[in-house]
Amino acid sequence: MISVELAIASINQEVKGTSHHEIIPLEKSLDRVIAQNIHTPIAMPPFRQSSMDGYAVYVHNLITYEIIGEIKAGDNHTFELKKGQAVRIFTGAPVPDTANAIVIQEHTHKKDSTLYCENTIAIGDYIRPIGEQIELNNLALSPNTTITSSTIGFLAGLGITTVPVYKKPSVSLIITGNELAQPGEKLNKGQVYDSNSIMLKSALTQLGIDIVTIHHVPDNYEDTRHLIASTIKQSDFTIISGGISVGDYDFVYTALQEINVKELFYKVKQKPGKPLYFGKKEGHFIFALPGNPASALSCFYIYVRNAIFLFENRNTRHLNGTLKKATNSFIKKGNRAQFLKAYTEGNIVEILDSQASSMLNSFAVANALVYLPEEKQQITPEEMITVIPIS
């Protein structure tokens, strides 16, 4: 049995960022990770642009100017100004080459075609020079940037329509358990509904992984071994639910050994999720999660998500958690590290009831996990504790 810290360190060491990338449409790229340098095909702004509504002027020493025309945003005609002349201009419009300042309209008044400037004018006022934001062919964004709405806006503003992003991992789920019925079916005595398939699939959807193959297998050794052996080849990650504990009908561990999966760790000194397994074979990663739904989900957020983020070349620093103030107390039984379902808002965090690994009722309303390390026995109100986001 290894500690939580060593288990996470093992994942950090083993899972390398993928080098595979694909070019996708900009509008589909939200939350993906940029895989190559992106250079801008245009300067931004592409022309000398007025940043205010007012007058473009060719500065001289008098306060009066002769207005000779008008340029609005989108116009592509221009004027040849002589010293002392001005054109009416609007935000975003191209500034004539001969104009050397914009006077904002609030600082002027006008009589017929004569403009009176009320303040002193500095050369260059309110003119955005070509390439002020970024010059032609310069680096706009570099690899490992996670694409947000503002990234998309920035690239769209440069006229870019496609982006190179790292490939998402392919993921397969294997759900073990003779006792499982699917929601919607009649529940016979001895059966429970399968929470984990749809729950883990949703947790993957939350990470932007939509294509997930789900396999079900009864608790028998041969079927388990065959299914695992064929599935792991097909996916970057195989996530197995249940059958990894020590019961007579838990066949996952023996099957993984039999098919020569390299064990990286098995059993973590934590609650919930002690029987967690992580291994690899020929570049494919395998997580076996305990079947108890809260254990499975807790292990997903703490370990599997971390591994997927590493694979995607995504920054995982925020998964280390932040310190927040506890509103209530908690006393730990035993000496394993513990992940507690919690609800956080702002800088405070409340530990929820129903922490048992079989129960999802508090997880259903939780938005964070609180980490209680091995050496820490209790939480007292007002104390600062480690909170890991799950949403």
Residues that bind ligand AMP (CB under 6 A): 175-177, 179-180, 192, 194-196, 241-243, 245, 247, 250, 290-293
* Partner from ligand AMP, Mg ion, none contacting 338, C-beta within 5 to 8 A by type: none
* Partner from Mg ion, ligand AMP, none contacting 292, C-beta within 5 to 8 A by type: ligand AMP
CB of 315 to ligand AMP, least distance (A): 31
* Partner from ligand AMP, Mg ion, none contacting 89, C-beta within 5 to 8 A by type: none
Task: Annotate 240-307 with DSSP letters as a single string.
Answer: EES--SSSTT--HHHHHHHTTPEEEEE-BSEES-TT-EEEEETTEEEEEE-SSHHHHHHHIIIIIHHH
CB of 149 to Mg ion, least distance (A): 43
CB of 193 to ligand AMP, least distance (A): 7
- By beta-carbon proximity to Mg ion, the closer residue of 242 and 272 is 242
CB 167 within 8 A of CB 22: yes
Size of the site for Mg ion (CB under 5 A): 4
- By beta-carbon proximity to ligand AMP, the closer residue of 96 and 275 is 275
Task: Give CA–CA dist 17/326, Å, rounded.
Answer: 35
CB of 259 to ligand AMP, least distance (A): 19
- The Cβ-side half-sphere exposure at 93, using a 13 Å CA radius, reads 23
- By beta-carbon proximity to Mg ion, the closer residue of 45 and 291 is 291
Candidates 45, 177, 279, 293: give the one binding Mg ion (CB under 5 A).
177
Task: Choose one: 100-108, 286-294, 321-329, 333-341; the region binding Mg ion (CB under 5 A).
Answer: 286-294
Closest residue to Mg ion, Cβ-based?
242
CB of 291 to Mg ion, least distance (A): 5
| Cα–chain center distance at 331 | 33
CB of 190 to Mg ion, least distance (A): 13
CB of 229 to ligand AMP, least distance (A): 19
- The Cβ-side half-sphere exposure at 250, using a 13 Å CA radius, reads 16
Q: 52 in helix, strand or coil? A: coil
Characterize the bridge pairing of strands 348-351 and 322-326.
Answer: parallel
Helix (H) or strand (E) holding 10: helix 4-14
- Looking at this protein, which amino acid is placed at residue 162? T
**Cα angle at 236 between 231 and 242, to 5 degrees?**
55
- By beta-carbon proximity to Mg ion, the closer residue of 162 and 245 is 245
- By beta-carbon proximity to ligand AMP, the closer residue of 85 and 298 is 298
* Partner from ligand AMP, Mg ion, none contacting 23, C-beta within 5 to 8 A by type: none
Beta bridge partners of 164: 23
- By beta-carbon proximity to ligand AMP, the closer residue of 247 and 346 is 247
56: CB partners within 8 A, 6+ apart: 50, 71, 81, 86, 87, 89, 95, 96, 99, 101, 102, 127
Closest residue to ligand AMP, Cβ-based?
291
From residue 64 to residue 103, the character string flagging contacts with Mg ion as x (rule: CB under 5 A) and all else as - is ----------------------------------------
Task: Give CA–CA dist 332/178, Å, rounded.
Answer: 33
Candidates 96, 242, 290, 293: give the one binding Mg ion (CB under 5 A).
242
Residue 92: exposed, middle, or buried by beta-carbon count in 10 A (0-12, 13-18, 19+)?
Answer: middle
Task: Annotate 169-207 with DSSP letters as a single string.
Answer: PPEEEEEE-TTEE-BTB---TT-EE--HHHHHHHHHHHT
Q: Any contact of residue 290 with Mg ion (CB under 5 A)?
A: no
CB of 216 to Mg ion, least distance (A): 12
* Partner from ligand AMP, Mg ion, none contacting 195, C-beta within 5 to 8 A by type: ligand AMP
Task: Give CA–CA dist 158/350, Å, rounded.
Answer: 45
- By beta-carbon proximity to ligand AMP, the closer residue of 39 and 274 is 274
Task: Give CA–CA dist 133/117, Å, rounded.
Answer: 29
Residue 91 has a CB neighbour count (10 Å cut-off) of: 14
CB of 263 to Mg ion, least distance (A): 20
- By beta-carbon proximity to Mg ion, the closer residue of 54 and 291 is 291
CB of 272 to Mg ion, least distance (A): 15
- Looking at this protein, which amino acid is placed at residue 14? E
Q: Catalog residues that contact Mg ion under the rule CB under 5 A.
A: 177, 242-243, 291
